[in-house]
Amino acid sequence: MPAADESELPLALEKTLLASGLGLCFEGRYRIEAPLGEGGAGHVYRARHITLGRAVALKVLRKQHNQRWVSRKRFEREARALGQLVHPNIVAVTDSGVDHDAPFLVMELLDGTDLARRLRGERLPVGLACRYALEALDALAFVHERGLVHRDVKPGNIFLEATALGERVKLLDFGLARLVAPQDDAAVTQFGEMLGTPSYMAPEQVTGETVDARTDVYAMGLVLYEMLAGKRAFAGDDMLVLKQQMIDRVPALAEPALAGFDALIQRATHKEPAQRFADARALRSALADVVAAGRAVPALAPNGGARAPAVSRPAPRAGTSRAGSGLLRAGAVLVSCLALTAILLACSVIYLIESPGGEQRRELLQRALSSLLNTPEAPR
């Protein structure tokens, strides 16, 4: 298929389905079938590998960004970065290239929904929120340990993949990922340039300062808050939200049972990066400790409400318990002694009867028993 003119790209990519069901092709291998959504830097489509017949997700850089060398450079770097990130909780990138004068990524096609759609102003059960957060932090820890920062952690980039074994978190959209110390970073990220989503941006992102792993920690603290509270920490238009990110503390969680989580969130979202957890691994470890300690999760029912208190029974008094235990031991010893005495007596009687002269002893024994029982002696 001949390359489309650059001016026709937006229309061609957004109205890709033709009457025959065939859409625009990339590098002669991937045919677009339907739009799926939008990422931080481009459109995402459902496509199919023409030779293999396999369905994939294809992400294409927006035309307005493609005209800027800086944004295109970021998109090409996303392909390199994601190609190195092989982790069960990170979306897999299988191919990349440039066609129709537009860079594109080919990713695994996921079945499910993202966390933003799952929330929709509703709080999650505490146990489920913890599981999502722990899996997302597993992915972020993997990213941080390889010198990358996501820079756009938010519910819309946390995908809940439906699998045969249940849901699995997949971290999406590394279009804003930044190598901490790349040689070309000065050419790609300019001082004072603000990148990210206002509702989840750390103060250093708002001011365009240097970001690192603690920037993602801040965003994950806000995501955890939203899952537990059922609402965003900061709301309003973008300018108001950005002001809140710079000045206001995250509101406290209302339920006393969530105190452990609240302390963790307050530290993760501290305005000063030095006061936050060092990276996603440290935040994950702290969250796992809160869960293991039972400071919040066991105290809440699956629907988020408080569990009914366990029925308590009065404990027996210590003195009574010891006395009862002593009587039981004494009784057991007495029974054992009586049983042993009976066995010895029976053995003695048998010996007296069966030994020589036993007939005479048997007759004497019978008379003694008869007199004890006051019964007449049986006639001989």
Nearest alpha-carbon partner for 59 in 46, 77, 72:
46
152 catalytic per annotation: yes
**Helix/strand/coil percent split, the chain, to 5:** 45, 15, 35
Q: In Å, how far are 25, 146, 215 from 139, measured between CA atoms?
A: 32, 11, 15
- Per the DSSP assignment, residues forming a β-bridge with 35 are 45
Residue 32, SS3? Answer: strand
Q: Which amino acid is at 17?
A: L
Q: What is the CA radius of gyration of the chain?
A: 38
Distance CA 367, CA 214 (A): 102
Distance CA 129, CA 124 (A): 6
DSSP labels, 209-245: ----HHHHHHHHHHHHHHHHHSS-SS-SSHHHHHHHH
Residue 179, SS3? Answer: strand
CA geometry: angle 71, 74, 80, nearest 5 deg: 150
Residue tagged active-site, from 152, 173, 212, 279: 152
Q: Could you give the residue numbers annotated as active site? A: 152
